[in-house]
Amino acid sequence: MAALLNVLPVRIRHAGHRLVMSLAIVAGALLASACSNSASASSCHNPLKLGANSISPVFVARLKVGEGEFEEIEKMVREFAQQRGWDIVVIPNSALPGHAWFQASVCETKGTLLSIDYIGSFGPDENGIFINVYQPQGGSSWKEPAKDLLQTFEAEWPGRLEFLRDSQLVARPAWYPDPIENP
């Protein structure tokens, strides 16, 4: 469980002298306990299974949606996993009463892991579903499945997808062209 907690996204932001930490630790604990049987040391839900001590996402995006879209997000993630034959673990909003919450993990046996999380409110411009992509085995095979999932989200919520690096907004990556500009 500790290994899984170390790799889940922990968003930290400095606001003056205040340090604001996301609920990712709670998310990790719930995910770890919910999938303790399926996310064993050798499971694709454990990106440290190849022996690394830590891992960072190779890609991060944010879909600007709220709690009202969780059900649709879950449906899309489940369909994505089913179409690809990937494993999936979902922790629904009801897992943390009183808090807006969504956590899903989809992965393939080779190691590519997509973590889809809504873990609370950071501020009016920072809410949304975070899509973190992990690729512990190296390479760029993550781009095709990430692109497929992002296109699914963007078809439903056009103009609400943002790309991040080091918690800062960045331009749309070259491997993921704008569907409006490049239909």
pLDDT tens track for 26-48: 444 444 444 444 445 678 888 88
Q: Is residue 52 part of a domain?
A: yes
Q: Is residue 177 part of a domain?
A: no
Neighbours of 12 (CB within 10 A): 10
What pLDDT shows up at residue 59? 97
Ranges of residues in the chain whose predicted pLDDT is under 50: 1-39
Of 90, 81, 98, 96, nearest to 145 by C-alpha is 81
User: Could you tell me if 40 and 13 are in contact, meaning their C-beta atoms sit under 8 angstroms apart?
Assistant: no
What pLDDT shows up at residue 107? 94
Model pTM score: 0.75
Total number of domains in the chain:
1
Q: Is residue 118 part of a domain?
A: yes
Q: Is residue 34 part of a domain?
A: yes
What pLDDT shows up at residue 91? 84
Residue carrying the six token digits 């649709």:
72
> What is the distance between the alpha carbons of residues 44 and 42, in angstroms, rounded to a whole number?
7
What pLDDT shows up at residue 5? 37
Q: Is residue 161 part of a domain?
A: yes
Q: Is residue 180 part of a domain?
A: no
Q: At what angle do helices 70-84 and 143-156 cross, to 10 degrees?
A: 140
CATH classification at residue 144: 3.30.160.110
User: Could you tell me if 122 and 22 are in contact, meaning their C-beta atoms sit under 8 angstroms apart?
Assistant: yes
Q: Which residues constitute the domain of residue 89?
A: 2-170
